[in-house]
Each structure stands twice: as structure tokens, then as C-alpha cells.
Amino acid sequence: MSSEFRFSIKKTDTLRNQIYQDIKDAVIGGMLKPGQRLREQDLSKDMGVSRGPIREAILLLEREGLLVTQTHRETTVANVEKDEVERLLNPLRVLLESYCIQTILPRLVAGHFEYLENILNELIEACQKSDLAAIVRKDLQFHEYLVSLTEEPYLISLWSGVSSRIVFHFMNNSHMHQLNDFSQLIQEHRELLDAIKTKDWTMIEPVLKKHIY
């Protein structure tokens, strides 16, 4: 890879998942740029693992639209245009998360809200440290938790691909992270959590749309 960024060597047995998450964090967090090449051989050397789990992780990230591999060519980091986000991805994410939240609302209890509060606190801590990788991870985790409560694997996979591309575009095109001003991000998650606590969809819907759009 033509970059100073290097991955840490993997030492546990959950290799594919670790590699998948590390590459995803690097792409969404902007450490790997759109169009940058990723060679299995280089990744294998950097991480100290065989090429098998790397190839598996790359396939997962291709399905999410974060990496692109053309026939007989190397894998590169994808690019997400503003038009795609505004016309396709944002409406899809609103649709998916609206369905998920409405589905789980009747069975939300105090323990669910407590878990979301913990994620929000960790997001705030990451913002205070300007830890971009952690900020992205906690932002996605907040929403992914709500989606996961539907217990519908295909829905979770579909949401993951859509939301990852949105956040990827945002991190590569927003000046927020350059200015280290994450106050709006924190405020929007606080407002969304407070709305969800009401368990009233008419209160939640406008806050969700405002947050995503």
C-alpha cells in the first residue's frame, strides 16, 4: 500500500472479523483514501497473517460497498459521491431505521435505554479525545444496536452496507473532524435517544430524519 498507515499484527483466532473491522475502521476513518489500492500480499505482511482471512474480509467489505475489486485488477477503496448519498443512501437508511425502530418500540425496556446511554457516553468520550476511529465505531454501534434488536440478519446486513457508505462519505467530505468539533454529533444522538425513550413514533420520526439528513 502506498500509505504510511500500517495495520497491527493479529494474534487472536477471530482473524477474519478482526481484519474486517480494522480495514473498515481505516476506510471509514479516512486513514485509507478513496482509490487507494489494497494488495492482499501487503496486508498479509502488515498483519502477520495468511491471505485467506484477508480475502474473506475483503469480500465482506466489497458487499458493503467500501471496497471495489475489478476483474483481474487490484482491490481499491471505493468512492461515494454526494449525489448517491442524498438521492439513494439517506432515504434508504431512513426507511430501514424507521422500520426497525417502529418494530422494536413495543418491547424496549429500561435495559435497552441503559445500553444506549453507555454507547452515547463512550461516543462523547471518543469525541473529547478526537479519536476518529472510535467516534465512527460508536456512532455506528448506536444505530446498529437498534437495528439488531429486530433479530433479522438480512436487515442488519442491508443496513450495515447503507450506513457504512454514508459515514464513509461524511468522514471524507466533512470539515467536522478537521475542526475537532463534534458537538452537533453528540447533540443529535442525545436528542434521538431522548425521543426513543418516549416510545412515541410521532416524536421519534422527525428527530431521526433530522439526524440522518
Give the pLDDT confidence of 36-53 residue by residue, as tens digits: 999 989 999 988 899 899
- Expressed as residue numbers, the domain containing 144 is 82-212
Distance CA 168, CA 60 (A): 16
CATH of the domain at 72: 1.10.10.10
Q: Is residue 9 part of a domain?
A: no
The whole-number average pLDDT for the span 51-60 is 91
Cell numbers standing for residue 128: 473529547
CA dihedral for 78, 25, 185, 111, sign (positive or negative): positive
The whole-number average pLDDT for the span 118-147 is 92
What pLDDT was estimated at residue 124?
Answer: 96
How many domains does the chain fold into?
A: 2
Distance CA 120, CA 122 (A): 5
Q: How sure is the predictor about 8, in pLDDT bands with cuts at 50, 70 and 90? A: low
Q: How sure is the predictor about 190, in pLDDT bands with cuts at 50, 70 and 90? A: very high
Q: Domain check: are 99 and 72 in the same one?
A: no
Looking at per-residue pLDDT, the higher value among 209 and 177 belongs to: 209
Q: Is residue 113 part of a domain?
A: yes
Q: Domain check: are 149 and 70 in the same one?
A: no
Q: Domain check: are 88 and 174 in the same one?
A: yes
Q: Domain check: are 168 and 130 in the same one?
A: yes
Q: How sure is the predictor about 2, in pLDDT bands with cuts at 50, 70 and 90? A: very low
Q: Is residue 64 part of a domain?
A: yes
What pLDDT was estimated at residue 152?
Answer: 95
What pLDDT was estimated at residue 143?
Answer: 97
Looking at per-residue pLDDT, the higher value among 108 and 157 belongs to: 108
**DSSP 8-class letter at 87:** I
Q: Domain check: are 152 and 114 in the same one?
A: yes
Q: Are 182 and 136 in contact (CB under 8 A)?
A: no
Distance CA 161, CA 167 (A): 10
What pLDDT was estimated at residue 174?
Answer: 66
Q: Is residue 4 part of a domain?
A: no
Residue 69: which H helix or E strand, with range? strand 67-69
Instruction: Classify burial at 187, counting beta carbons within 10 Å of its beta carbon; exposed 0-12, middle 13-18, buried 19 or more.
Output: exposed
Distance CA 212, CA 89 (A): 10
Share of the chain above pLDDT 90, in %: 58
Q: Is residue 1 part of a domain?
A: no
Q: How sure is the predictor about 202, in pLDDT bands with cuts at 50, 70 and 90? A: very high
Q: Is residue 5 part of a domain?
A: no
What pLDDT was estimated at residue 169?
Answer: 86
Q: Is the pLDDT of residue 57 over 60?
A: yes
Q: Domain check: are 65 and 90 in the same one?
A: no
Q: Is the pLDDT of residue 119 over 80?
A: yes
Q: Domain check: are 46 and 124 in the same one?
A: no
Q: Are 150 and 104 in contact (CB under 8 A)?
A: yes
Q: Domain check: are 73 and 98 in the same one?
A: no
Q: Is residue 171 part of a domain?
A: yes
Q: Is residue 163 part of a domain?
A: yes
Q: Domain check: are 101 and 159 in the same one?
A: yes
